[in-house]
Structure 1
Amino acid sequence: MLKGTPFAAAAMIAVGLAGGPASEARAQSFPEQEIQLIIPFGPGGATDIIFRLIAAEAEQHLGTTIVPVNMAGAGATRGSRHVLEAEPDGYTILGSHDTIALSSLAGMVDYSYDDFEQVALLTQTINIPTANAEHPVNSADEIAAYVAENPGDVRFSIIPSSTDHFFWAQFFDEAGIDMADVRLVGYPDTGEQVSGLLAQEVDFGMFNLPSAGSHFESGALKPLGVANDERLAALSETPTLREMGLEFDHATSRGIFAPKGTPQEHIDAIAAAFEKALENEELRSRIENEFGTNVRFLAGDDYEAFLDENETALAAAAEGIEFEN
């Protein structure tokens, strides 16, 4: 009844003015409860270790507890789908990596990076082809000859459609190895892959310092090369693949994602907390020296551009892989 009257107009202006500060107050009150960080892999792998380490520091800047939740299964898609379908309120986020795009390229899921709010890139972990200490191969440039001597019998562990699956496809191409001459053995997560290699169920696996560093140190496993343009401080005696004539680098890029529709101010608050966490010199030193991982923080348009380039490169690599659906 008041529509169009001066009183109605004044009332609407009053509501609008009241709504502005109230809206700002709601934004400033985030977070009001703990945040669940879904990790789509089992405990003990590089993704689990790195996200737990950074989250413990980030929660100091966010003002609430960040609870890491391992949600492995379905080739790391169980956890990502859980976040995809979660309430877009900022209280459920995903800590994952290239596997989001890899699962899409493999036809396992109907979503990719663009179906999430892309919060921030945190790190890139250098990957390392690895063997059991008792294996006769001692360096990555010996793998091709070993496969040629044992065609059809050499076993490589993979998490299907994950980063190591793509790593080996690129490695085989660079080393001149026919994929028909090798056996790919699937595992549900990195922890079980490590156990499988320790038990000599397979010949080779692709790991990194977070997942296998303690076994390198004990001598139970041996690194065969470093997929980086320079040697790692913690493995100074291990040559890079490039030093062996294998011309490619390979890293796992880990970042934070949120359900589509999560308020931008919540995304910004989460990103800022993780950025502050990575400014901690002690934490950076551990990540870089102990875990063979480069700290690389990107957010906003920079992270979006990075993910676009990442997915394009992965799509090119996927052309050499036959996926089982």
Structure 2
Amino acid sequence: MTRNTLIRTLAAIGLAGGVAFSATAQADYPEQDIRLIIPYGPGGATDIIFRLISQEAEQHLGESIVPVNMAGAGATLGSRNVKDARPDGYTLLGSHDTIALSKLAGTVDYSYDAFEPIALLTQTINIPAAHANHPVQSADEIADYVRENPGQVRFSMIPSSTDHFFWVQFFDEAGIDMADVRLVGYPDTGEQVSALLAEEIDFAMFNLPSGGAFFEDGTFRPLGVAHPERLDGLPDVPTLREMGIEMDHSTSRGLFAPKGTPQEVLDTVAEAYGQALENEQVRSRIENEFGSVVRFLAGDDYRAFLDDNEAALSAAAENIDFQN
């Protein structure tokens, strides 16, 4: 055997061994704890929902799923950490529409396509709201109120976040000229809650995790539900569509992995979370406590959903000046 032939033979043996090792490693996945990066602080809807489902999903994986809160930089600190992690299935991201929103706002240079999508888990339905003393009783009265008070009506939002896009889409569907409203920016939901409590603003967008307690005690008034069906937690509040406003809007939470993560790993994680969402107690809490709906999509179905989601957000972004 010549020297070159020997080298080629050893290389082939090494390559085959590497492929076999990789296949074995994937077949045995997971063999250690999985870190789930949540790009928000503890206690919010995103944090609570991912922790709830992950606690059940780890029962099907046989290893612990460790939630790690990594807030900062408009939720991009956590997403960047996962984007740059090893694609071995042991660092995952639990996030939502903010991935695409950050790209559209120019905060980062990447979107959904920088990751391997694993599965869509839930959609939290968004709800326009007013303080209890406000004269507007329902969402279909907002347009008339704006026309009667041009330039004076204040809508709160977190710049470049879900509620920013919500209001832009709402104005379009309700026939409201953006030149007639005042969008007031706040750093987080807590600040918006305080502003509405103080009646410094007219309207805010919440959901049941962030506003449910205030709806229940009458401090805030839910003006409509941005979903095709009424919510079990707010059965007397009509949908926007019932009021003639053809709009649905939700925060869609799902799982992502670093680009290049093997498909077998993605499928294993997706299957575990899909099984977790079949648990009736988990589903009940998601639907009744968090005003969300279970919507499980994986593989090509989830990729198609993300494509449609980004296209809709891009269309709304055309009407947003991110510099102001």
Q: Helix, strand or coil: the match of 1:123?
A: strand
Q: Which stretch of structure 1 is more off in the superposition, 225-234 or 81-90? A: 81-90
Q: Does structure 2 conserve the Cα–Cα contact (< 8 Å) formed by 1:157 and 1:193?
A: yes
Q: Does structure 2 conserve the Cα–Cα contact (< 8 Å) formed by 1:139 and 1:225?
A: yes
| 1:94-105 equivalence runs, <5 A | 94-105=93-104
Q: Deviations over 1:118-161 (max 9, x none)?
A: 11111112111012223232211122222233333322221221
2:21 & 2:207 partners in 1: Cα distance? 48
Q: Does 1:197 align with 2:196?
A: yes
Q: Deviations over 1:219-276 (max 9, x none)?
A: 2222110111121111111111112121211122111111112233322222121111
Q: Which stretch of structure 1 is more off in the superposition, 132-141 or 162-171? A: 132-141
- Equivalent AA in structure 1 for residue 97 of structure 2: D
Q: Deviations over 1:202-235 (max 9, x none)?
A: 2211111122222222222221101111211111
| 1:163-178 equivalence runs, <5 A | 163-178=162-177
Correspondence for 1:56: 55
| 1:18-29 equivalence runs, <5 A | 22-29=21-28
Q: Return the offset for 1:110.
A: 0.8
Q: Does structure 2 conserve the Cα–Cα contact (< 8 Å) formed by 1:45 and 1:189?
A: no
1:71 & 1:192 partners in 2: Cα distance? 20
1:159 & 1:92 partners in 2: Cα distance? 28
Q: Deviations over 1:54-93 (max 9, x none)?
A: 1121122222222222333333222222222223222221
Correspondence for 2:205: 206
- Equivalent AA in structure 2 for residue 4 of structure 1: T
Q: Return the offset for 1:2.
A: 5.2
2:34 & 2:186 partners in 1: Cα distance? 29
Q: Deviations over 1:174-222 (max 9, x none)?
A: 2222212222222333344334333434221111112222222222222
- Equivalent AA in structure 2 for residue 239 of structure 1: P
Q: Does structure 2 conserve the Cα–Cα contact (< 8 Å) formed by 1:75 and 1:160?
A: no
2:8 & 2:156 partners in 1: Cα distance? 70
1:51 & 1:233 partners in 2: Cα distance? 21
Identity of aligned residues (%): 71
- Equivalent AA in structure 2 for residue 53 of structure 1: L
1:302 & 1:90 partners in 2: Cα distance? 20
**CA, structure 1 residues 28+230, in 2 after alignment: closer, same or farther (shift >3 Å)?**
same
Correspondence for 1:322: 321
Correspondence for 1:89: 88
Q: Deviations over 1:84-118 (max 9, x none)?
A: 22232222211111121122122221111111111
Q: Which stretch of structure 1 is more off in the superposition, 22-31 or 266-275? A: 22-31
Q: RMSD of the TM alignment (CA)?
A: 2.3
Correspondence for 1:77: 76
TM-score, structure 1 normalization: 0.90
Correspondence for 1:249: 248
Correspondence for 1:262: 261
Q: Does 1:226 align with 2:213?
A: no
Q: Return the offset for 1:16.
A: 6.5
**CA, structure 1 residues 199+49, in 2 after alignment: closer, same or farther (shift >3 Å)?**
farther
Q: Helix, strand or coil: the match of 2:296?
A: strand
Q: Helix, strand or coil: the match of 1:4?
A: helix
Q: Helix, strand or coil: the match of 2:199?
A: coil
Q: Return the offset for 1:21.
A: 5.1
1:301 & 1:200 partners in 2: Cα distance? 46
Q: Return the offset for 1:317.
A: 1.6
1:51 & 1:178 partners in 2: Cα distance? 37
Q: Helix, strand or coil: the match of 2:281?
A: helix
List structure 1 segments (4+ residues) > 6 angstroms apart after TM superposition.
11-14
Q: Return the offset for 1:20.
A: 5.6
Q: Which stretch of structure 1 is more off in the superposition, 123-132 or 148-157? A: 148-157
- Equivalent AA in structure 1 for residue 228 of structure 2: D
Q: Does 1:116 align with 2:150?
A: no
**CA, structure 1 residues 265+189, in 2 after alignment: closer, same or farther (shift >3 Å)?**
farther
- Equivalent AA in structure 1 for residue 311 of structure 2: T
**CA, structure 1 residues 232+113, in 2 after alignment: closer, same or farther (shift >3 Å)?**
same
- Structure 2 stretches of 5 or more lacking a match? none
2:151 & 2:40 partners in 1: Cα distance? 29
Q: Helix, strand or coil: the match of 2:233?
A: helix
Q: Return the offset for 1:171.
A: 0.6
Q: Does 1:4 align with 2:5?
A: yes
Q: Helix, strand or coil: the match of 1:174?
A: helix
Q: Return the offset for 1:19.
A: 5.0
1:75 & 1:142 partners in 2: Cα distance? 33
